[in-house]
Chains A and B, each alone.
Chain A
Amino acid sequence: MLEKALTGDKRYWGWIAFVLIMIGAGAIAYLRQLDQGLTVTGLSRDVSWGFYIAQFTFLVGVAASAVMVVLPYYLHNFKAFSKLTILGEFLAVPSVIMCMLFIVVDMGQPFRVQNVMLYPSLNSPMFWDMMSLSGYLFLIVVIGYMVLSSEKKGIAPPKWLKPFIIISIPWAISIHTVTAFLYSGLSARPFWMTAVLAPRFLASAFAAGPALLILIIFLMRKLTRFDAGKDAIQKLAVIATYAMCINVFLVLMEVFTTFYSGMPEHMHHFEFLYVGLHGNNTLVPWMWFSSALAVVALVLLLTPKFRKTEVMLGFACIAVFVSIWIDKGLGMIVAGFTPSQMGEVVDYWPTLNEFMVSIMVWGIGLLIMSLLYKIIFTVRGETEPIVAAKEDKKELTVPSN
């Protein structure tokens, strides 16, 4: 089945070549980082985690969000998602791999990564994060592969797969919870030390993930004969809407607690993000842009007329995705370190080298995703030539209750 990724038209190979160039260009930057150390990044003794760890955090969310198609389909027998579950799983696979790679590229001694397994430290959330991410990767690879190969043969997936699918649901929740625990358990960092961090991570993930999936569906409809169907898209839109509402709600909870209690140690981080601190405004325009996008997204999503218009829904999804990417992928990590333990504001902005290394990781993710999606659509092209019309006939469900 995997060989399906190796045949394709010019357009497909052109895209693969483009992604390979991305990876190659980024790899040069990574070699430079390996040679010179993390001095090639914008990181410092005060802001010691930055863009890499932020991308990792954001992508764990994208990976976890596959559960938003898996759960309605397998637990609630929501048939419209029948063709989407594999898309969700195969979006999660490259996401988890990118998460792992972002951790590795952030390490000062990446060739010692096996030490995490050789000297397991049960007291460290990082150990548990590694366990939960690799376990999740194993689950979704097995599930995705088995479901798709059964679909290819036109049979129902094997019975033994069902427990894997059921376990993958809480497991998806766990990966983002443990990721939040990396931060929220640190007494040293008041900005992160909030019980609402894990729920907030999950809410933002379940908004950004389905939003991304909708955009991918739109794109795939243009590029292939695949059509998820109106029902599926609208249901995903509703999921993204609820999740975005909860996400914004939780952020506002945080703002209330911080500013009503008025504890300076907690307020300074928010001030740094939204009004600037000690004359440093690096992230201020970004955070307001993110907030504005969140408002736009909510207006578009909460108004049924807009949500049901595909162009508007597309805009809303872009707004959700970008808003949350800025919040988690730029603000969240840096603000935890600013101000520093000594009350100082040390400027951080990713360097070109850091950005190129990230391009490498994103490139690898895009490559894996392209290959996997190519396999899906090729397999479906064989088994199911007229995709859109036969929506309801297809029953590849694992028996569910």
Chain B
Amino acid sequence: MGIDRRKFLTIAGLTTLTTLGKTVLGSSPAGHDPIETGSQAVKRLAMVIDMVKCRQNEGCTECTKICHKIHNVPDIGNAKEEIKWIWKENFEAAFPNQHHDLLEDNIKNSPAVVLCNHCDVPPCVKVCPTGSTWQREDGIIMMDMHRCIGCRYCVAGCPYGSRSFNFRDPRPHIDEMNPEYPTRSKGVVEKCNFCAERLVDGLLPACVDICPEKALTFGNINDPESEIRQILKSRHSIRRKPILGTNPQIYYLV
């Protein structure tokens, strides 16, 4: 009995040590950021969405189309399992706290383009048990599709419904595969990445580029001279659920 116990404790102790060792020696989430963006010290990327311009072009879905195309986002054809990176919501759904029945028709009927808010204080990053989703220094919230265990805690934690889970293998549902961007497997979570793969080539996010109304502006919000700072200074802007303290970095002009 005594020997059994000692043996057992030895094995248990060794197991614990091995796990701890791996932890200490293993890579930290910060160390596996695959993309460097520019040399500016404190860059903070953000987006301004001009809903006035956007609503001029009713029924336009160019941003969704280009984004989903270049990122190999599948079209599952089933609302319950839909994968969405950027899409239009009605005003009340996007801004439940800023909606009221007598609101100006223009605003009330404005669709809001929604995407990941790349929050300054991201709840998804906070809850992720594996560091599969993390925040880059420039603020972009990234996803590691190879580390994600598919627990969907981030989906529960995101107050904006910005995260989608691959309930099935997405590959058969991609119309035209873009070989430049990886596809995902079933069982992982995905979302908008602010086109990190384009930024590294010096390109703007695809949605910003393609918008026929030029309703989307992207830039460094920490630079007082940037275009988005100028716009925010001159126009009234709102954000989704700011009361939650996530400090979302998508600003809406109404």
Q: List residues of A whose CB falls within 8 A of some B CB.
A: 36-39, 41, 43-46, 48-49, 103, 106-110, 112-113, 115-121, 123-127, 130, 138, 149, 182-183, 185-189, 265, 336-337, 340-344, 346
The segment from B47-55, B122-130, B209-217 found at the interface with A is B122-130
Question: Does residue B19 face the partner (Cβ distance < 8 Å to A)?
Answer: yes
Q: B151 touching A341 by the CB < 8 A rule?
A: no
Q: How far is the CB of A392 from chain B (nearest CB, A)?
A: 29
Name 7 extra pairs, CB < 8 A, besides A48-B156, A126-B127: A38-B167, A116-B129, A117-B22, A118-B23, A124-B128, A183-B156, A186-B157
B169 partner residues in chain A, CB cutoff 8 A: 37
Contact B130 A121 (CB under 8 A): yes
- Is B129 a contact partner of A130 (Cβ separation < 8 A)? yes
User: A107-B187, A186-B123 known; A119 and B81 CB under 8 Å?
Assistant: no
In the complex, which of the residues B12, B84, B187 has the most CB atoms of chain A within 10 Å of its own CB atom? B187
Q: Say whether A187 contacts B156, CB under 8 Å.
A: no
Q: How far is the CB of B145 from chain A (nearest CB, A)?
A: 10
Q: Which residues of A contact B22 (CB under 8 A)?
A: 117-118
Which of B79, B125, B155, B156 has the most chain A CB within a 10 Å cutoff? B156
Minimum CB–CB distance from A282 to chain B (whole Å) comes to 14
B82 at the interface (CB under 8 A from A): yes
Is the Cβ of B149 less than 8 Å from the Cβ of A112? yes
Q: Can you name 14 A-B pairs with beta carbons within 8 Å?
A: A37-B167, A38-B187, A39-B81, A39-B167, A43-B80, A43-B167, A49-B156, A108-B152, A108-B165, A117-B23, A121-B131, A123-B126, A344-B93, A346-B80
Chain A residue contacts of B1, Cβ below 8 A: 149
Q: Does B161 contact A (CB under 8 A)?
A: yes
* Contacts A43-B167, A109-B148 given; does A340 touch B161 at CB 8 Å: yes
Q: Which residues of B contact A340 (CB under 8 A)?
A: 161
**7 nearest interchain CB pairs?**
A108-B150, A108-B187, A44-B80, A188-B159, A341-B161, A126-B129, A37-B186
Chain A proximity of B249: nearest CB distance (Å): 17
* Cβ contacts B185-200/A at 8 Å (1 or 0 each): 1111100000000000
Most buried by A among B1, B19, B127, B130: B130
B residues contacting the other copy or chain, number (CB 8 A)? 54
CB <8 Å contact, B157 and A188: yes
CA distance A186 to B147 in the complex (A): 23
Q: Which residues of A contact B254 (CB under 8 A)?
A: none
Residues in chain B near residue A45, CB distance under 8 A: 80-82, 84, 155, 161, 164-165
Task: Give Cα A188 to B122, complex, Å.
Answer: 11
Question: Which of B92, B129, B156 is close to A121, meaning CB atoms less than 8 Å apart?
Answer: B129
B123 x A342 contact (CB < 8 A): no
A124 & B127 in contact (Cβ 8 Å cutoff): yes
Report Cα–Cα, A116/B29, bound state, in Å.
13
Which residue of B is nearest A189, CB measured? B156
Cβ 8 A contact of A36, one of B92, B152, B168: B168
Q: Are B168 and A39 touching (Cβ within 8 A)?
A: yes
Q: Which of A44, A103, A112, A127 has the most CB of B within 10 A?
A: A112
Within 8 A of A (CB), among B191-249: 244-246
Cα distance A189–B126 in the bound complex, in angstroms: 15
Alpha-carbon separation in the docked complex, A305 to B193 (Å): 65
CB distance from A56 to the nearest CB of B (A): 11
Do A108 and B166 touch across chains, with their CB atoms under 8 A apart?
yes
Interface residue B36 (Cβ < 8 Å from any Cβ of A) = no
A135 → chain B, closest Cβ, in Å? Answer: 11
Specify which chain B residues have a CB less than 8 angstroms from the CB of A346 in the assembled complex.
80
For residue B130, which residues in chain A have a CB less than 8 angstroms away from its CB?
112, 115-116, 118-119, 121
Specify which chain A residues have a CB less than 8 angstroms from the CB of B80 in the assembled complex: 43-46, 346
Select from chain A the residue with minimum beta-carbon distance to B126.
A123
Task: Bits for B130-173, please: 1 = Cβ < 8 Å to A, else 0.
Answer: 11100000000000000111111101111111001111110000
Beta-carbon contact of A124 and B161 below 8 Å: no
Closest chain-B Cβ to A54's Cβ sits at a distance in Å of: 13
Pair B166/A125 contact, Cβ less than 8 Å: no
A187 to chain B, nearest CB (A): 4
Q: Mark B94-134, 1 if CB is under 8 A from A, else 0.
A: 10100000000000000000000000000101111111100
Q: A108-B186, A188-B244 are in contact. Are A121 and B128 (CB under 8 A)?
A: yes
Nearest CB on B from A185, distance (A): 8
- Determine which of B125, B128, B132, B156 lies in contact with A188 in the assembled complex, contact meaning CB atoms within 8 Å: B156
Known contacts A45-B165, A187-B245, A343-B92; A127/B129 CB under 8 A: yes
| Structural contact, A48 and B96, CB atoms closer than 8 A | no
In Å, the complex CA distance between A126 and B29 comes to: 17
Note all chain B residues with C-beta closer than 8 A to A183. 156
A40 vs chain B, min Cβ distance (A) = 9
Residue of A at shortest CB range from B164?
A45
Task: Give the complex CA separation of A106 and B129 in angstroms.
Answer: 14
| Known contacts A109-B188, A187-B159, A187-B245, A115 near B147 by CB under 8 Å | yes
In this complex, the member of A45, A110, A130, A343 whose beta carbon has the largest number of chain B beta carbons within 10 angstroms is A45
Q: Do A109 and B158 have beta carbons less than 8 Å apart?
A: no
In the complex, what distance in Å separates the CA atom of A337 from the CA atom of B79? 16
Q: Does B89 contact A (CB under 8 A)?
A: yes
Q: Measured between alpha carbons, how far is A130 from B149 in the docked complex, in Å?
A: 14
A119 to B84, CA, bound (A): 28
Chain A residues with Cβ under 8 A from B167's Cβ? Answer: 37-39, 41, 43-44
Pairwise interchain contact B158-A341, C-beta atoms closer than 8 A: yes
A130 contacts which chain B residues (CB < 8 A)?
129
Chain A residue numbers with a CB within 8 Å of B186 are: 36-39, 108
Residue of A nearest to B125 (CB): A123
Assess the A187–B246 pair: CB atoms within 8 A.
yes
